[in-house]
Structure 1
Amino acid sequence: MKSFIFSAIAVSLLVITVSCSCTKAKQTAPFKPISEKPGAPPKTWKEHWFEHDKTVNLVYYDDNVAFYYDGGVDKSVVWPFKTMSNVWSYVKKNYGAFGDSSRLYVIFHQNSYGGGHPASYFDASHDYRNTLDAGLGNWTSPTGEQIGMPVHEIGHIVCGASNGVQGAPSDAIWGDSKFMEIFNYDVYMNIGMQEEAAKVYKQMEDKDPYEDYPGRRYPGVRWFINWFYPIYDKYGKGELLNKYFKVIAANYPKKGKVFTRDRDMNLGEFVHFWSGAAGVSLKDQAKFAFGEYWTPAVEAEFAQAQVDFPNVKY
């Protein structure tokens, strides 16, 4: 079982490239204290994961998010507060609860730690909080990488902690980032950022299908254009994405609350589970999308998956 905490390097694979200032951020006055209310998140949080060891400060919270900035983040940057609150609100609405806490804990760094990583409420490493931790050269506007990276990391929380089960067995098929392409697109479409969604679609049209990315499988497959978007558009959009994780949680081998198996998910099983989410066989779409990789052996895997997981109906 791979660790749910992903490398900070992986996050740049989905987001649209934008120019980022690498100059040192202008230092501003210390954080103003936030009034304490019952159930408020802690005012500071001492990082204790990977190379992170900073004490970050609570700068905003509501029912959906608790935001922490390190000392390098420009304090005039406030757009992430409501934007990420809207993102997490939609995620909870579409995918359900992630543990007992209703909040996502967001940590932003500037000109210190680069890239991003997620953690879920299953992870002791981040004090059992649903967390995204991200660093860039600046956070000036809700576009491109600055919105794409945080949303991408939330997608990993969805992949690895949905429906009360820990683990991401589908990563063996789609690698680090292929699901995040459709996940980000769907989030943008549902929080009033249709222009950003259109940018993602255009980027996917132009994307090199032979790009390298962590855990890459099936070079040459146009994941978004030939697999995810067609089934997303035809079989329920965000509801389809949610149903897939419900199908996995209900049927994939697990021990207690952890997905456990002695081998990886195979492509035939993957298409079987997505067919269960869609309610129809997606074999023809898979043959088109995966092309040369849909071999007689994979055809046999698909048939065997129907035997091994008979409760997945379509």
Structure 2
Amino acid sequence: MKRYLCYVLLVGGSLFTLATFASKNTAWMAPVVKDTTAAPPLTWKEHWFEHAQVMRRVFSNSSVTVYYDKETPESITWPDTLLTKVWNYTTKTYGAFGKDNRLFVLLHTGKYGGGHPSTYFDGSHDYRNVIDVGHEGDWVSNTGWNLDAAVHEVGHIVEGAAKSVHGSPAFPIWKDSKWMEIYQYDVYRALGWDAEARRWFDMQMKGTDNFPRPGTQWFKNWFYPIYHQYGGAKVLNNFFTLLAVNFPRNGNAYTRDLNWGEFIHFWSGAAGVNLKPQAIIAFGWPASWEEEFLQAQKEFPEVKY
């Protein structure tokens, strides 16, 4: 079985997420999706990882339900409004996430120091779209790490369940946070949170990673140029749409991951232009990618640019 696991730790004040996709199994079957349209319960006992708290419901509307542990004061209300706006924009942009189409927000104070997501495909979290985030400090502020950590996990729900298909074939390529960097920038910008968008943009433009080669600047040389030149949120959404329509799946679950050539091919389709020159700038171009890229064009001819 191919399972999605993401866990975030707070290390030195920075957001650090451990996230993996387990190896694929040829016997993998599409997950059963249960109807969770019943009213959210007043309490919810966690039963995953080391979490075992009874969480209390502190807010609920048709879009978002918020639960706190006993250490998180109910006087903290910004998640109610801000995460409602984030989720409403997300579902408007990428489509519905299950029959309930609701985001469940679980916040902890003084423990865990990070977070993880789960989607409505996953029985581990009772078939709900969940962000479960812990803070070793407090949730008083509605900016900086507090906002970023919560929105980061919402982005994982998008990549793991967009277009009613389970899984993220691009995850082994962009790993934990690269997709989230452009997703979060788009959210902050679209919601008119100019200070947050500028703060986030400046931080990501300076960021470097050691994959696929040392010194790679994913945001500066890949995601932002594509986003800026080829349609903003539209190009981000196009990528998931093309995957859902064209990439191999068994029912409502992807059966394998993208290789690099396919990754560039599908993003080219999303942008409507051959992105090989941009990929060379951002990542280099090993000989194996050329073979994969040409094969992807043959295997997925409906992805056009």
1:31 is aligned to none
SS of the residue corresponding to residue 109 of structure 1 reads strand
Could you tell me whether the CA contact under 8 Å between 1:105 and 1:130 is conserved in 2?
A: yes
Could you tell me whether the CA contact under 8 Å between 1:98 and 1:162 is conserved in 2?
A: yes
Q: CA deviation at 1:2?
A: 4.6
Could you tell me whether the CA contact under 8 Å between 2:208 and 2:216 is conserved in 1?
A: no
**Structure 1 counterpart of 2:250, from 246, 251, 255:** 255
1:143 is aligned to 143
Count the aligned residue pairs: 282
Identity of aligned residues (%): 49
- Within a 5 Å distance, the mapping from 1:218-257 to structure 2 comes to 218-257=213-252
In structure 1, distance between residues paired with 2:302 and 2:193: 37
Change (3 A) 1:217 1:9: farther
Change (3 A) 1:252 1:175: same
Is 1:266 aligned to residue 265 of structure 2?
A: no
Could you tell me whether the CA contact under 8 Å between 1:175 and 1:217 is conserved in 2?
A: no
Which residue identity does 2:302 align to in structure 1? N
Which residue identity does 2:152 align to in structure 1? H
Which residue identity does 1:130 align to in structure 2? N
* TM-score, scaled relative to structure 2: 0.88
- Stretches of structure 2 that go unaligned for 5 or more consecutive residues are 18-36
Q: Which runs of 4+ in 1 moved over 6 A?
A: none
* TM-score, scaled relative to structure 1: 0.86
In structure 2, distance between residues paired with 1:71 and 1:209: 38
In structure 1, distance between residues paired with 2:207 and 2:169: 25
Structure with greater strand share of residues: 2
Could you tell me whether the CA contact under 8 Å between 2:9 and 2:112 is conserved in 1?
A: no
- Within a 5 Å distance, the mapping from 1:131-210 to structure 2 comes to 131-136=130-135, 137-210=137-210
Could you tell me whether the CA contact under 8 Å between 1:119 and 1:129 is conserved in 2?
A: yes
SS of the residue corresponding to residue 9 of structure 1 reads strand
1:65 is aligned to 64
- Stretches of structure 1 that go unaligned for 5 or more consecutive residues are 15-37, 211-215
Q: CA deviation at 1:89?
A: 0.1
Change (3 A) 1:68 1:81: same
Q: CA deviation at 1:243?
A: 0.6
1:55 is aligned to 54
In structure 2, distance between residues paired with 1:218 and 1:245: 25
Which residue identity does 1:284 align to in structure 2? P
Could you tell me whether the CA contact under 8 Å between 2:117 and 2:130 is conserved in 1?
A: yes
1:308 is aligned to 299
Which residue identity does 2:89 align to in structure 1? Y
In structure 2, distance between residues paired with 1:219 and 1:302: 22
2:93 is aligned to 94
Encode CA deviations 1:144-184: one digit per residue, 9 max, x unaligned. 11000111001111001011110111011101111100011
In structure 2, distance between residues paired with 1:158 and 1:217: 23
> Relative to structure 2, which stretch is displaced further, 110-119 or 225-234?
110-119
Is 1:114 aligned to residue 113 of structure 2?
A: yes
In structure 2, distance between residues paired with 1:275 and 1:208: 23
